[in-house]
Chains A and B, each alone.
Chain A
Amino acid sequence: LVWLEAELGKGSGDTALSWSQALEGSLNFWNLLEGTHLITLMLFAGTIFVVDLRLLGVTFRKTPVSVVSDRVLPLTVAGFVLMIVTGLALFLAKPVIYYHSLWFRLKLVFLAVAMINIVIFHARVQRNQHKWDTLALPPRAARISAVLSLASWAAVITMGRFIPYNWFDCGKPIPHIVNVLENCKASDHGAVDKESMAKIAGGQGQ
């Protein structure tokens, strides 16, 4: 990741920048990428939420599930492609910071949960969709899948929004477990355990 941040795409000369540094230091491009990443959520998450609400039986109750998903999911996929492209570019701009971010790591975990849920839905729940396609209220397995989808995407969005906040940055006195989860020992700022700091402060007080 250090190579990705400092070396990849770097030209010759003392002032040459790597692609990562050029992207992070760009006048407007990083802002445009970040803004696009956020605004695309309206297309991506906004449409997937509607499909999930249909699976929950709270909207489009008279429309077959297959009609809603066939018409809406292509839009969701287009949004997802944009999210991935802009997300990867944003990661390229600050790979080391994101690597040591608790929120970024949790975002990836919830992203994995959402993906696994999609795989399970297609492999198992959708297998007998012809039996419940026109039902106003789909079976419990489909509803559970919809709840998991809504919750995991909401969690991905929440974690994503928390990334810019420095509450748990490496080098700050933070709980030991967070230092471990962020692998702060390997970071430039090191790991400072809040508990150890409290003990030292307590010892000095006595």
Chain B
Amino acid sequence: MKLTFEVFFPALRPWVENLVNVWPAPFVKPQFASFEVLHILSLILLGGTAILMNLRLIGAGVTDEPPSEIYRNLRRWQDLGVIGIVVTGVLIGMANAERLYDSTAFVVKMLALLAGVVLTYGASRPVARADGAVSTGAKLWLLIGGALFLLGIWVFVTGALINVGLFHVLSAAALLVLIALTGRLRWIYLAGLIVLIAASQFLTHVGVEPDDLAKLDPVNKTFFVLYSLWIFGAAAVQLFVKERGAEAGAVAKLIAYATILVWVVGAAAGRWIAFA
């Protein structure tokens, strides 16, 4: 079954079909590309601030300053990014409503947006403000945001034609862990990653005929699982490593990883709306 908003709200179709005629959609539609640019610029602002704020909790980035200082300096810019993606998202969404209504990737994007807002405002920012101390409230928001995040991942994984987009999330996680790890651990992790990449490329280009999709599909899926185990296994190790400049504990780091990756999921799903 294709999981779209139509499955949950079938009676809304006439309303959705008419959204393109409701102000300001008739004004937005001819300027669609310009509003897309504003959406992307907002995403960049949100992404940059989320990366720096959460990397600091993980123990990387601007480690010369405490997490609370990073939070204090970036929060307003992050607010601007969140407001920007929501406002421009609503506008371009109205001008393109029917397509979104029929898109599984859009369901993922909305779940990621919700999870992103919950994790950012409920968990990541309060933890950064408290220099890594995790309150009961933050833990609660982590559970709620984490559940929404995992639900979004599940829809992504099971979505036909869009689940390839999860490689974006995996790549981002791979890079994030590479940045977060230090010393010998980083080199071991990188070596393992290179071995996995070489093995997957060999098998999918030499071991199996390039057009034999029936064989390529299980090989690709197997490697997706192996990549995930290696990357998230390394991240799990990093959670419990006490490094210089890392005031935050394992739960704070978990919040930070999740908060960066949830926005990557949102961006990836947004892009795959156009592809599938």
Interface residues of A (CB under 8 A from B): 27-28, 31-32, 34-36, 38-39, 41-43, 45-50, 53, 59-63, 67-68, 71-72, 75, 78, 154, 157-158, 161-162, 165
> What chain A residues lie within 8 Å of B33 (beta carbons)?
161-162, 165
**Whole-angstrom CA separation of A32 from B45 in the bound complex:** 22
**Whole-angstrom CA separation of A110 from B52 in the bound complex:** 26
Given contacts A32-B165, A75-B55, A157-B41, 20 further A-B contacts (CB under 8 A): A31-B164, A31-B165, A34-B271, A39-B268, A41-B47, A42-B44, A49-B45, A50-B49, A50-B52, A60-B73, A67-B62, A71-B61, A71-B63, A71-B64, A72-B61, A72-B62, A157-B44, A161-B36, A161-B37, A161-B40
Q: Is B171 an interface residue (CB 8 A)?
A: yes
Q: Provide the B33-53 mask, 1 if CB < 8 A to any CB of A, else 0.
A: 100110011011111111110
Instruction: Select from chain A the residue with minimum beta-carbon distance to B65.
Output: A63
A47→B48 contact, CB < 8 A: yes
| A32 and B164 contact, Cβ closer than 8 Å, known pairs A42-B44, A42-B263 | yes
Instruction: Select from chain B the residue with minimum beta-carbon distance to A161.
Output: B37
A35→B165 contact, CB < 8 A: yes
* Min distance, Cβ A24 to any Cβ of chain B, angstroms: 14
Q: Is B175 an interface residue (CB 8 A)?
A: yes
Q: Is B114 an interface residue (CB 8 A)?
A: no
B62→A68 contact, CB < 8 A: yes
**Whole-angstrom CA separation of A157 from B275 in the bound complex:** 20
**Whole-angstrom CA separation of A97 from B171 in the bound complex:** 29
Interface of A is mostly: helix
| Best-surrounded residue of A34, A39, A47, A59 (most CB of chain B within 10 A) | A39
Instruction: Select from chain B the residue with minimum beta-carbon distance to A45.
Output: B44
* Min distance, Cβ A146 to any Cβ of chain B, angstroms: 14
Q: Is B154 an interface residue (CB 8 A)?
A: no
A38→B65 contact, CB < 8 A: no
A42, A75, A154, A162: the one contacting B43 at CB < 8 Å is: A42
B62→A63 contact, CB < 8 A: yes
Instruction: Select from chain A the residue with minimum beta-carbon distance to B210.
Output: A22
* Min distance, Cβ B29 to any Cβ of chain A, angstroms: 13
B267→A71 contact, CB < 8 A: no
* Min distance, Cβ A45 to any Cβ of chain B, angstroms: 5
Instruction: Select from chain B the residue with minimum beta-carbon distance to A67.
Output: B64
**Whole-angstrom CA separation of A53 from B74 in the bound complex:** 10
B62→A157 contact, CB < 8 A: no
A32, A45, A158: the one contacting B48 at CB < 8 Å is: A45
A32→B167 contact, CB < 8 A: yes
Q: Show 27 A/B contacts (Cβ-Cβ < 8 Å), sorted by A.
A: A31-B164, A31-B272, A32-B165, A35-B271, A39-B172, A42-B267, A43-B51, A43-B175, A45-B44, A46-B45, A46-B46, A46-B47, A46-B49, A47-B48, A53-B77, A59-B73, A72-B61, A75-B179, A78-B175, A78-B179, A157-B37, A157-B40, A157-B44, A161-B33, A162-B33, A162-B37, A165-B33
B48→A50 contact, CB < 8 A: yes
**Whole-angstrom CA separation of A32 from B41 in the bound complex:** 20
**Whole-angstrom CA separation of A158 from B38 in the bound complex:** 9
> What chain A residues lie within 8 Å of B51 (beta carbons)?
42-43, 46-47, 75
A39, A48, A75: the one contacting B264 at CB < 8 Å is: A39
Q: Provide the B64-77 mask, 1 if CB < 8 A to any CB of A, else 0.
A: 11000100011001
> What chain A residues lie within 8 Å of B45 (beta carbons)?
46, 49
A39→B267 contact, CB < 8 A: yes
> What chain B residues lie within 8 Å of A39 (beta carbons)?
168, 172, 264, 267-268, 271
**Whole-angstrom CA separation of A36 from B50 in the bound complex:** 18
| A28 and B164 contact, Cβ closer than 8 Å, known pairs A50-B49, A158-B37, A161-B37 | yes
> What chain B residues lie within 8 Å of A27 (beta carbons)?
213
* Min distance, Cβ A140 to any Cβ of chain B, angstroms: 22
**Whole-angstrom CA separation of A63 from B66 in the bound complex:** 11
A43→B47 contact, CB < 8 A: yes
